[in-house]
Amino acid sequence: MQSLRPLLNMKRPKTPLPPPSSSAPSAPPTPQQKQPINKLLNPTSKKPRNILQNPQSVPTASAVDGGIKFKPLNINKKELYLPLTFPTGQTFRWKKTGPLQYTGPIGPHLVSLKQLEDNGVGYFCHFTDDEDTARLSLFDFLNMGICLNEMWSEFKACDERFAELALYLEGARVLRQEPLECLIQFICSSNNNIQRITKMVDFISSKGKFLGNVGGAKYIVGTVAALQSKPGGGVEWLASLRKLDLREAIDGLSTLPGVGPKVAACIALFSLDQHHAIPVDTHVWQIATRYLIPELAGTRLTPKICSRVADAFVSKYGKYAGWAQTLLFISELPSQRAILPSSFWSTEERSSAKLQTKIQVIPETEENPGKKKRQN
């Protein structure tokens, strides 16, 4: 996602199909063409690819299983457990391509990760011109400069419930994504669930520079135009937000079309090193009112209440509060309840049901009377 200008093109040009040729094509196929899986996994060209602008099909489980040797990353399950990291709403471009296995892009590299039999993590590069660079980019993307085990030890010491959850949900990391890609994904997230967001992001990726009528496209186009006007360019400006404090980063992101407080907090947490950012929605608010600030149960979710919720998480968990909130959020996902014993939810579900009858949420339009409704 290094180039911003092409995203402004909204119409697909009609390009005639090339005449048949007996010789092999000299350039990679266009997004409209299908590529055989053997060429997908063993490309003849070693030129770096921009996965977003010239997307290829994600390798299927059967294709990835055959003939691929995963190299160990020397990361254990306590530091990274793939099923609790990738399909949990942080990123929407990584696909499950096999048992305990996920495939996705990191810059120009297409990588598969797999939880190995020894509970470590292995990787395989499908597309890259420099595997050493791909490996370094992978470690950066996985946020491996932060020790999850040490952080969780502090959380468990101050929160008995977190300690109980950690027994079943170890290895849920917060990723460090490329800021522009993270921004575009979370513009698509407004008022949507994980499955629908994933479909929208897939559609945008498949079209490359031609957005068409995908939901949120007008905000993406507006955001790209705004980024192009930033000093030094949008990519540089987004990266500079990593050096600011959280409030300044949130305020900067909120100037972009389609970005409100929650979306800005997601981008800050998942790509801008703002580890105490708390994306507050009704789910996070319910968690907070059940376990941190029960006195707010039944109130309306106003901007002021959102700030109190975020402050409550930071007061409880400190400078990495966003990581703690991520684990608590993951524990509420229906896909993760099978991991937790049924007794764990019996009392909490009754409490949640009572709380649901009291919830009153102020729409974005009421919070910002001068704006059109954009996101939660």
Please spell the DSSP secondary structure of 264-329, one letter per residue: HHHHHHHHS--TT-----HHHHHHHHHHT-GGGTTSEE-HHHHHHHHHHHHHHHGGGHHHHHHHHH
* Residue 224, domain CATH: 1.10.340.30
Pick the catalytic residue from 95, 114, 207, 262: 262
310 in a domain, yes or no? no
More confident of the two residues 303 and 2: 303
80 in a domain, yes or no? yes
Q: Which residues contact 125 (CB under 8 A, 6 or more apart)?
A: 109, 110, 111, 131, 134
What are 114-166's pLDDT values in tens digits?
Answer: 999 999 999 999 988 899 999 999 999 999 999 999 999 999 999 999 999 99
241 in a domain, yes or no? yes
Q: How many domains does the chain have?
A: 2
Using the predicted structure, report yes or no on whether residue 324 has a pLDDT greater than 70.
yes
Quick one: average pLDDT of 30-44? 36
Q: Given this model, what pLDDT does residue 38 score?
A: 34
266 in a domain, yes or no? yes
Q: Indicate the burial class of 243 (C-beta count within 10 angstroms; 0-12, 13-18, 19 or more).
A: exposed
Last residue of a domain, one of 128, 145, 162: 145
In terms of domains, do 60 and 141 share one? yes
Helix (H) or strand (E) holding 62: helix 61-65
Burial 177-212 (b: 16+ CB within 10 A, else e): bbbbbbbbbbbbbbebeeeebbebbbbbbebbbbbe
In terms of domains, do 124 and 204 share one? no
Q: Taking a C-beta distance cutoff of 8 angstroms, is the pair 31, 55 a contact?
A: yes
Structure tokens at 166: 């950690």
Helix (H) or strand (E) holding 122: strand 121-127
Q: Poorest-confidence range of 60-69, 107-116, 316-325?
A: 60-69
Q: Which residues contact 112 (CB under 8 A, 6 or more apart)?
A: 59, 64, 68, 70, 97, 101, 102, 103, 123, 124, 126
* CA-closest candidate to residue 204, choices 189, 193, 191: 189
Quick one: average pLDDT of 23-52? 37
pLDDT classification of 347: cutoffs 50, 70, 90: low
* Residue 116, domain CATH: 3.30.310.40
User: Measured between alpha carbons, how far is 240 from 253 in angstroms, rounded to an integer?
Assistant: 12
Helix/strand/coil (H, E, C) string of 7-53? HHCCCCCCCCCCCCCCCCCCCCCCCCCCCCHHHHHCCCCCCCCCCCC
338 in a domain, yes or no? no
Last residue of a domain, one of 204, 239, 271: 271
341 in a domain, yes or no? no
Q: Given this model, what pLDDT does residue 146 score?
A: 97
Last residue of a domain, one of 203, 238, 271: 271
Q: Which residues contact 314 (CB under 8 A, 6 or more apart)?
A: 276, 278, 321
In terms of domains, do 196 and 254 share one? yes
Torsion of CA 258, 262, 266, 268, to 10 degrees: 90
In terms of domains, do 51 and 136 share one? yes
In terms of domains, do 135 and 59 share one? yes
Quick one: average pLDDT of 37-43? 33
In terms of domains, do 197 and 133 share one? no
Quick one: average pLDDT of 260-284? 95
In terms of domains, do 102 and 185 share one? no
Per the DSSP assignment, residues forming a β-bridge with 300 are 360
In terms of domains, do 139 and 239 share one? no
238 in a domain, yes or no? yes
In terms of domains, do 134 and 66 share one? yes
Using the structure block, give the residue that is written with the tokens 């160990």.
72
pLDDT classification of 203: cutoffs 50, 70, 90: low
In terms of domains, do 199 and 123 share one? no
Q: How many residues does the chain have?
A: 376
Q: Taking a C-beta distance cutoff of 8 angstroms, is the pair 166, 152 a contact?
A: yes
Which one of 14-18, 300-304, 359-363 scores highest in mean pLDDT?
A: 300-304
Q: Given this model, what pLDDT does residue 193 score?
A: 67
**373 belongs to the catalytic site:** no
In terms of domains, do 115 and 184 share one? no
Structure tokens at 194: 């994980």
Helix (H) or strand (E) holding 333: none
Give the rounded distance of the alpha carbon of 364 from its chain centre: 23
In terms of domains, do 140 and 236 share one? no
Which residues span the domain enclosing 206? 179-271
pLDDT classification of 217: cutoffs 50, 70, 90: low
188 in a domain, yes or no? yes
Q: Given this model, what pLDDT does residue 198 score?
A: 75
The upper half-sphere exposure of residue 305, i.e. CA atoms within 13 Å in the direction of its Cβ, equals 22
